[in-house]
Amino acid sequence: MHPAPSIILFTTLSGLGFGLLTFLGLGMPGSTGFTAFVFFTIAYLLAVGGLLFSTFHLGHPERALKAFSQWRSSWLSREGICAVAALVIMAIYGIGRVFFAQHWGLIGGIGAILSLLTVFTTSMIYAQLKTVPRWHMPLTSPLFMALSITGGALLAGQVQFVIPLLILSAVTQVAYWVVGDSRLAQSGSTMESATGLGHIGKVKAFEPPHTGTNYLMREFIHVVGRKHATKLRAIALVLGFALPLIFLTLPFGHIFALLAVLCHVAGILTSRWLFFAQAEHVVGLYYGKR
């Protein structure tokens, strides 16, 4: 799949933002006044900023309101509804914390659940696609959720949760990669099943339908990035999980906390880039490519 920067930024940043909102909704940290204002501002910048990035890949963003209508069948529609609901509920809760020094636990709890649900719906947009076997598996949602909660805990400064969550996320990430590597082969989709010509013999793409490229090839067939996949996986693990763990076990200092956050975000961006670049769409089989 084509790793579009707008979608990578959107899923990474809004994942972090909704992760932070989850912790804020649960009263961790339970600060009020200006400190709470800073926390909520960071969370909203990330969550809303991410959502704004996602509109950059739309052909007609001016029609985006229509996307709230098909929640019965569409995970993308459900994501939009959950995101807006979470942002509205958390805004009410945030007003209480910032201006009235009140912790409205029920509203915060509902906001936290909606924030997590938003990340889940995002993950389901990918996990539902049978056409991309690497995404269509039970580990895709846990990966998105684990990364979001870990990033949220890190931003919320919940050090007691961050260390176990970083380890959990790293394990989920590695499991996602290991299981994902065999998903295309397990899907049963081959050039033979794609063409129905397997009963005659081995199928090979002889001539593509056109001399140039096309939308399908640009969108679904991405070969260049996979070349360095192993190195990038190592970089993602070191930046995303190993370095933050080291920084957080050092004597506490704001500079180390900042470094941990920056490293983690860079690592997750790398991982998310691989999430797209490594994913094979079965339509590539018609072109003899992955």
Partner 1 sequence: MTTLPASTQKKLGLVIDLDTCVGCHACVVSCKGWNTENYGAPLSDQNPYGGDPSGTFLNRVHSFEVQPDEGAAQLIHFPKSCLHCEDAPCVTVCPTGASYKRVEDGIVLVNEQDCIGCGLCAWACPYGAREMDAAEKVMKKCTLCVDRIYNENLPEEDRQPACVRTCPSGARHFGDLADETSDVSILVAERGGFDLMPEQGTKPVNKYLPPRPKDTMEEFDILAPYLEPVAKDAGGFLGWLDKALDALPGGAK
**What's the min distance (Å) between Cβ of 207 and partner 1?**
4
Closest C-alpha among 109, 142, 106 to residue 123: 142
Which is it for the CA torsion 261, 267, 271, 277, positive or negative?
positive
Nearer to partner 1, 125 or 257 (CB): 125
Task: Please identify, using beta-carbon distances, which residue of 161 and 280 lies nearer to partner 1.
Answer: 280
CA–CA dist 87, 285 (Å, integer): 41
The three-state (H, E, C) secondary structure of 95-144, written as one string: HHHHHCCCCCHHHHHHHHHHHHHHHHHHHHHHHCCCCCCCCCCCCHHHHH
Rounded least distance, CB 157 to partner 1, Å? 35
Q: Which residues bind partner 1 (CB under 8 A)?
A: 1, 57-61, 63-64, 66-70, 72-77, 80, 125, 128-132, 187-189, 191, 193-197, 199-216, 219-220, 281-283, 286-287
Q: Which is nearer to partner 1, 81 or 153 (CB)?
A: 81
CB of 286 to partner 1, least distance (A): 6
Least distance CB 184 / partner 1 (angstroms): 12
Q: What distance in Å separates the CA atoms of residue 267 and residue 277, rounded to the nearest whole number?
A: 15
| CB closer to partner 1 out of 105 and 219 | 219
Closest to partner 1 by CB, 66 vs 227, is: 66
At closest approach, how far in Å is the CB of 4 from partner 1? 9
Tokens of 192: 């033979």
Nearer to partner 1 among residue 31 and residue 278 (C-beta): 278
Query: What amino acid occupies position 258?
Result: L
Supply the minimum distance, in Å, between the C-beta of residue 240 and partner 1: 26
Q: Please give the Cα distance from 205 to 186 (Å, whole number).
A: 22
Supply the minimum distance, in Å, between the C-beta of residue 126 and partner 1. 9
Q: 214-220: long-range contacts at Cβ-Cβ below 8 A with a sequence spacing of 24 or more? A: 216/283, 216/287, 217/287, 217/289, 218/2, 219/1, 219/2, 219/281, 220/1, 220/2, 220/281, 220/283, 220/284
Instruction: Give the nearer residue to partner 1 in terms of CB position, either 55 or 158.
Output: 55
Cis peptide before 29 (omega within 30 of 0): yes
Q: DSSP letter for 62, please.
A: G
